[in-house]
């Protein structure tokens, strides 16, 4: 039996390079990640700039995924203040135990998940009736404990497919190590973005050729 409360005493961590803490209450995506996700998923930058990332807390009992089964994320909030809430295991590091579901330092898992969730942020902005929209989603998560084949899910999934295609391109070029090193580096955002821009341009060119 899973004990969700066992996580409470563990020190939490967040993935550097992806998130910036804001007043110790929530996180924003870093400018580099906003650039990357926006270019790849086509979700608008201003929307990603105002998106807050939160860790699920007991005062915030969603998404009701079990962290030990991989956990997940859910988009809540309003158009003005979109929230992406991740389960605790996304803020725990593997060094705290031999748990493969501790994603606190897993940029690959974070970005794969974010490339899907930002699609829901765009939907929240487009539909603009947060209560109704969000409640239906919350119930979906609670009832099914998984994503279903709803059109909104399929739509959000196209962003993830595009991101996976980009990662595939990076891997084919033998640049995986460089890619994650760059994201974690302390170098200036402009330098990071300029490198990422180049990779994205190459990826877009390559996928056009393939689809022609
Ligand atoms: Zn989804």
pLDDT in tens, 14-41: 999 999 999 988 999 999 999 999 999 9
* Mean pLDDT, the chain, whole residue set: 84
Q: What is the pLDDT of residues 67-77, one digit of tens each?
A: 656 778 888 88
pLDDT of residue 2: 39
CA dihedral of residues 83, 76, 157, 4 (deg, nearest 10):
90
Residue 191 reports pLDDT greater than 90 = yes
Arithmetic mean of pLDDT, 109-127: 94
Q: For residue 150, how far is its CA from the centre of ligand 1 (angstroms)?
A: 9
User: Does the structure show a pLDDT above 70 at 185?
Assistant: yes
The residues that bridge with 73 in the sheet, in sequence order, are 86
* CA 116 to ligand 1 centroid distance, Å: 6
**203 vs 40, 43, 82, 108, 172, CA distance in Å?**
10, 18, 29, 18, 11
d(Cα 70, Cα 99) in Å, to the nearest integer?
10
Q: Which two tokens stand for residue 178?
A: 């460089």
* Highest mean pLDDT, choosing among 3-12, 92-101, 186-195: 186-195
186 Cα–ligand 1 center, Å: 31
With a cut of 60, say whether residue 6 has pLDDT above it: no
Instruction: For the chain, state the CA radius of gyration.
Output: 17
**Cα 153 to middle of ligand 1, angstroms:** 5
Q: According to the model, what pLDDT value does residue 13 have?
A: 85
pLDDT band at 142 (very low <50, low <70, confident <90, very high): low
Rounded to the nearest angstrom, the distance between the alpha carbon of 115 and the centre of ligand 1 is 10
Distance of CA 109 from the midpoint of ligand 1 (Å): 15
Q: Where are the domains of the chain?
A: 4-211
| Spacing, Cα 138 to ligand 1 middle (Å) | 11
Q: Which residues of 169-202 are buried (b: 16+ CB within 10 A; e: fewer)?
A: bbeeeebeeebbebbeeeeeeeebbebbeebbee
At 57, phi and psi to the nearest 5? -125, 175
CA 148 – ligand 1 centroid, Å:
8
Q: How many CA atoms lie within 13 A of 201 on its CB side?
A: 6
212 CA → ligand 1 middle, Å: 30
| Ligand 1 mean position, distance from CA 74 (Å) | 7
Q: What residues contact 189, with CB distance under 8 A and at least 6 apart?
A: 30, 31, 32
Confidence of residue 175 (pLDDT cuts 50, 70, 90): very high
Segment 49-60, tens digit of pLDDT: 999 999 987 666
pLDDT confidence of 206, banded at 50, 70, 90?
A: very high
Q: What is the DSSP letter of 95?
A: G
């Amino acid at each position: 039996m899973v004990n969700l409360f066992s996580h409470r005493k563990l020190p939490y961590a967040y993935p550097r390079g992806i998130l910036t803490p804001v007043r110790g209450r929530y996180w924003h995506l870093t400018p580099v990640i906003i650039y990357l996700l926006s270019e790849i998923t086509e979700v608008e930058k201003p929307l990603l700039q105002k998106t807050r990332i939160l860790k699920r807390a007991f005062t915030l009992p969603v998404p009701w995924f079990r962290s030990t089964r991989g956990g997940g994320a859910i988009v809540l909030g309003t158009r003005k203040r979109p929230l992406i809430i991740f389960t605790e295991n996304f803020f725990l590091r593997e060094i705290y135990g031999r748990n493969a579901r501790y994603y606190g330092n897993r940029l690959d898992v974070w970005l794969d998940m974010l490339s899907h969730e930002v699609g829901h942020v765009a939907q929240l902005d487009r539909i603009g009736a947060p209560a109704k929209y969000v409640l239906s989603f919350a119930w979906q998560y609670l009832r099914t404990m998984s994503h279903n084949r709803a059109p909104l899910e399929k739509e959000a999934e196209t962003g993830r497919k595009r991101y996976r295609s980009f990662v595939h391109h990076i891997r084919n070029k033998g640049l995986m190590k460089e890619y994650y090193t760059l994201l974690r580096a302390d170098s200036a955002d402009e330098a990071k973005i300029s490198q990422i821009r180049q990779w994205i341009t190459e990826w877009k060119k390559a996928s056009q050729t393939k689809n022609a």
